[in-house]
Chain A
Amino acid sequence: MANLIGTWIAAFLTLCIFSFLYKDNPFYRFAEHVFVGASVAYLLIQTWYFTIQPKLVQPLVREGFAQNYLLLVPTILGIMILTRWFPNLRQISWIPISFTVGVGVGLAVTGSIQGILIPQLKATIVPINSWNNAIMIIGAVTTISYFYFSREHKGLLGGSTRVGRIFIMIFFGATFGYTIMARVSLLIGRIHFLLHSWLHFI
């Protein structure tokens, strides 16, 4: 029974969203707001039950304050972020935000160099013993040259950047094709749901 009700609600909300294709209307806006509200409520509950309670409340209250007093540091930082709501106290929120940005940037920089830049460089330094390798090297070199802005794109550099632009266009084309495929897949998924799970037509 619960499944049936769920299917009907999902079908109704799907049709509400589809109605936007005709024009903006209250049904569409209702479905949009329900989605945003439900997602935020779900995230809130998840964060409370699976992060704040087991990682903060339980250690402090049940396991003992003396052993876990260091948890007060992230708690205070967390509360400080909430001061953004009050114009007079807003500056306080910069402290935890700087802390978060600092940690995030630190992790991202080391991660990017170790995890992306160097492995990708290694993968590009290959012997030119096949057409694939040759195309890859030409593509990498000419595309990088396209983003070299310290000299005017003339002569040899100009030729290289023109080739680079072709590679970039090919990438955009492939991405556009994949994007269409993705969007159509989403539509197929919804129509399949309506015809199969809701109407039992297929």
Chain B
Amino acid sequence: MNINRRIIYLLVAVVVTVPLIIKIAMPVRVSPPVQLAYDKLDELKPGSVVLLSTDYEAGTMPELYPMTIAILKHLFSRDIKVLLMSMYALGVPIGTMALDEVAAEYDKKYGEDYAILGFKPGLNVVIVAMGSEIRDAFPTDYAGTPLEDLPVMKGVDNYDDIPILIDLCSGSTLDSWVMFAQARFGQRIIAGCTAVMATSFYPYLNAGQIEGLIGGLKGAAEYEKLIESPAVATSGMPAQSFMHILILVLIIIGNISFFIERRRKRRS
């Protein structure tokens, strides 16, 4: 059975576009790993400083950006301060965009309620250096202001002063955060990742090395439900579901045609 691949592309485009236009409402059920992530952040005292590492680039933005927005909304609504950094060069402007958007909504001020540390190459070395002093890795913020001059950095020297680290990643940066920040310095970690990576990170959750896991757009939709602020991820769920049905149908059609073809060959 030969179907022109362009027909499949067309079907995919229709199945994704139509639910977005007609806005079908679908229930979102919160899974335990996302609930755990939410609970751990919700337990933080107002005024705590969390480190948010946006370790992803434009290619995975559709999955991780809604997650970033939802988490920032949760943090700022509880008056928790945020330090943004990234192990990817392009992760900083993406994180900055999210921070600007949410900070304006919650009337948060740069330097007092949040700061952008920036990007630093070196991954493992940077993580280890931050264990003794954040200023060793980031002497200044993204704009070149010494960290000493930022009120949000007062009393924040290393992982001991950061109750939770949130790593939103599209690659294997979480492995490094777990290997060095968690195992060596006892840093508590919550992870948000692309759906592709989620299965690789479940063992960390099971072993207690991370305390919550938000996987893909579905995880972001669950988080949006928990903070009662449905947005892009929630609106994408119907398209996601219809698309899965289409893929299942295509797999079934492919298998049926395979068996029919095989029977025909045997008979001939």
Q: Which B residues are CB-close (under 8 A) to A189?
A: 61-63, 65, 217, 232, 236
Cβ-based interface call for B239 (8 A): yes
Contact of B118 among A50, A136, A185, A201 (CB under 8 A): A50
Within A142-186, the residues touching B (CB, 8 Å) are 171, 174-175, 178-182, 184-186
Cβ-based interface call for B267 (8 A): no
Within B2-39, the residues touching A (CB, 8 Å) are 6, 9, 12-13, 16-17, 20-21, 23
Q: What is the minimal beta-carbon distance from A27 to any residue of chain B, in angstroms?
A: 16
Q: How many A-B residue pairs have CB under 8 A?
A: 144
Evaluate contact between B207 and A120: CB separation under 8 angstroms. yes
Decide if the interface of chain A is mainly helix, strand, loop or mixed: helix
Given A123-B203, A178-B215, A191-B17, also A111-B179 (CB < 8 A)? yes
Evaluate contact between B217 and A181: CB separation under 8 angstroms. yes
Nearest residue, chain A, Cβ from B183: A115
Cβ-based interface call for A99 (8 A): no
Nearest residue, chain B, Cβ from A172: B199
Contact of B20 among A39, A42, A174, A195 (CB under 8 A): A195
Cα of A112 to Cα of B244 in the assembled complex, Å = 36
Given A195-B20, A201-B21, A202-B23, also A119-B128 (CB < 8 A)? no
Q: Which A residues are CB-close (under 8 A) to B77?
A: none
Q: Which B residues are CB-close (under 8 A) to A54?
A: 139-140
Please indicate which of the listed interface residues B57, B128, B209 has the most CB atoms of chain A within 10 Å of its own CB: B209
Cα of A72 to Cα of B103 in the assembled complex, Å = 42
Given A115-B180, A116-B179, also A202-B216 (CB < 8 A)? no
Cα of A34 to Cα of B63 in the assembled complex, Å = 23
Q: Which A residues are CB-close (under 8 A) to B173?
A: none
Given A115-B178, A188-B240, also A178-B216 (CB < 8 A)? yes
Evaluate contact between B63 and A182: CB separation under 8 angstroms. yes
Q: Which B residues are CB-close (under 8 A) to A97?
A: none
Cβ-based interface call for B195 (8 A): yes
Q: Interface digits, B166-183 against A, CB 8 Å rule (1 contact, 0 not)?
A: 000000000110111011
Given A120-B203, A178-B196, also A192-B235 (CB < 8 A)? yes
Given A119-B209, A123-B207, A186-B62, also A107-B124 (CB < 8 A)? yes
Q: What is the minimal beta-carbon distance from B213 to any residue of chain A, in angstroms?
A: 12
Cβ-based interface call for B194 (8 A): yes
Q: Which A residues are CB-close (under 8 A) to B65?
A: 189
Cβ-based interface call for A75 (8 A): no
Contact of A188 among B175, B178, B180, B239 (CB under 8 A): B239
Evaluate contact between A51 and B183: CB separation under 8 angstroms. no
Cβ-based interface call for A47 (8 A): yes
Contact of A202 among B16, B20, B124, B206 (CB under 8 A): B20
- A contact set with B: CB distance below 8 Å: 21-22, 39, 42-43, 46-47, 50-51, 54, 103-104, 107-108, 111-112, 114-116, 119-120, 122-123, 136, 171, 174-175, 178-182, 184-192, 195, 201-202
- B contact set with A: CB distance below 8 Å: 6, 9, 12-13, 16-17, 20-21, 23, 57, 59-63, 65, 89-90, 92, 118-121, 124-125, 128, 139-140, 142, 175-176, 178-180, 182-184, 194-196, 198-199, 203, 206-209, 215-218, 232, 235-236, 239-240, 243-244, 247
Report the 6 A-B pairs with minimum CB-CB distance, sorted nearest first.
A189-B62, A115-B179, A115-B183, A123-B207, A111-B179, A182-B195
Could you write out 12 A-B pairs with CB less than 8 Å apart? A22-B6, A42-B90, A43-B89, A47-B121, A103-B125, A104-B124, A108-B124, A111-B180, A115-B183, A119-B183, A180-B247, A188-B16
